[in-house]
Structure 1
Amino acid sequence: MNDTQVSQVPRGRSLALLLAPLAVGGLIAVGLGVYGRVHLATGYAVGPAGFSGPLAMKSWLTTGAFLLALVQLLSALVMWGRIKLDAPWIGPLHRWSGRAAFLLTVPVAFHCLYALGAQFDTPRVMTHSLLGCFFYGVFAAKMMALPRRGLPGWALPVLGGLAFTALTGLWLTSSLWFFTTIGVTL
């Protein structure tokens, strides 16, 4: 979207276009948190095929998602003109790296919610639980905002930046913790 398209929509209307995506994202985040808190954790959800255990599986999949999120960040900077690069392939790279990153998070989130639930017993785990809910909420808001025309020019970069920040926090509170506490194992 260019500046001309943004300026054609009145300011109040352009902000109103964000309300539905933000509301749905907020409902998803809160819904996941409530489900994770009231659901009776099973202790088991996803078989860690090819991994030594569920923590290793979650750590490596989250690391893959985090690396793809770095690709997302760099490709977004190119798309928004912050990094000058003539790369007609950057849009497809951005879309496909985002899809792959999201898909890597799904078994991790499923295991976290179904097997463990949202936990608040230690600061690291509480932060991780809250960031997980926030990540899926902001991701949903961004996906809903993408096809909307007339959004403020800052909306998609802010939503994308929030998703990146949440995923970075998830990686720091899970994978980095695992690799530095348990060790680098498959």
Structure 2
Amino acid sequence: MTAPPHARSSPSLSDAAKLLIPVAIGSAVAVTLGVYASLHRPTGVAVTMLGVSSPLAVKAWLASASALLGAFQLATASAMYGQLPRVTAPPWTGTAHRWSGRIAFLLSIPVAVHCLYALGLQSSSPRVLLHSLLGCLFYGAFTVKMLFLTKQGLTGWALPTAGGIVFAALTALWLTSSLWFFTAAP
């Protein structure tokens, strides 16, 4: 038996704040990165690593490792949420999910620093502009996801949605950078 419509509880202001405050903060992160990248005069200083041929190669390989860990994140989250048929998540899945996420994020930092300082926000081609905007989206969405993790009683769809946006942005970043580098770069 269901409660009459007038007796059902509606979302409270605090429920909305649990969603809106992290989204506002994440949006501020994304916009701040975009504004900084567009106003900052690119330095051209490149991130290099011993044994890697060029700064673009460093970025492509770090981004690829981050994207691979992102795919692992998707698989472990799907297992933890019971979304994989006939798969029971082993007890270590949560720990593996957390650590792979931390490592993926840390691998993305040198790439982002290089993009922000050496290149800035660029619009020389649709691919480059899209990549710049996706970078801002990724870090904004990541901020939202991390803030959602601290909220008790958050609606059930919020964290998986934020995680999905982070994964989609990371995948699109990889497609507009690393895949381009490995297949079409001069």
Tell me if structure 2 keeps the 8 A contact 1:17–1:151. yes
Deviations 1:97-155 (A, max 9, x none): 00000001000000000000001121000000000000000001110110101111000
Amino acid at match of 1:120: S
Task: Kindly state the Cα deviation for residue 38 of structure 1 after the two structures are TM-superposed.
Answer: 0.3
Task: Kindly state the Cα deviation for residue 10 of structure 1 after the two structures are TM-superposed.
Answer: 5.7
**Corresponding residue number in structure 1 for 2:79:** 78
Q: Distance in 2 between matches of 1:77 and 1:10?
A: 29
Is 2:106 the partner of 1:66?
no
Higher RCO, 1 or 2 (CA under 8 Å, sep at least 6)?
A: 1
Is 2:38 the partner of 1:37?
yes
Tell me if structure 2 keeps the 8 A contact 1:138–1:163. yes
Identify unmatched segments of 5+ residues in structure 1: 1-8
Q: Distance in 2 between matches of 1:29 and 1:113?
A: 13
What percent identity do the matched residue pairs reach?
55
- 1:149–1:30 distance in 2 versus 1, CA, 3 Å: same
Q: Distance in 1 between matches of 2:42 and 2:131?
A: 16
Deviations 1:10-31 (A, max 9, x none): 6233232011111110000000
Task: Tell me the TM-score normalized by structure 1.
Answer: 0.90
Tell me if structure 2 keeps the 8 A contact 1:36–1:117. yes
Task: Tell me the TM-score normalized by structure 2.
Answer: 0.90
Tell me if structure 1 keeps the 8 A contact 2:47–2:58. no
Q: Which has the larger radius of gyration?
A: 2
**Corresponding residue number in structure 1 for 2:53:** 52
Amino acid at match of 2:125: T
Is 2:160 the partner of 1:172?
no
Task: Kindly state the Cα deviation for residue 47 of structure 1 after the two structures are TM-superposed.
Answer: 2.9
- 1:150–1:131 distance in 2 versus 1, CA, 3 Å: same
Amino acid at match of 1:29: A
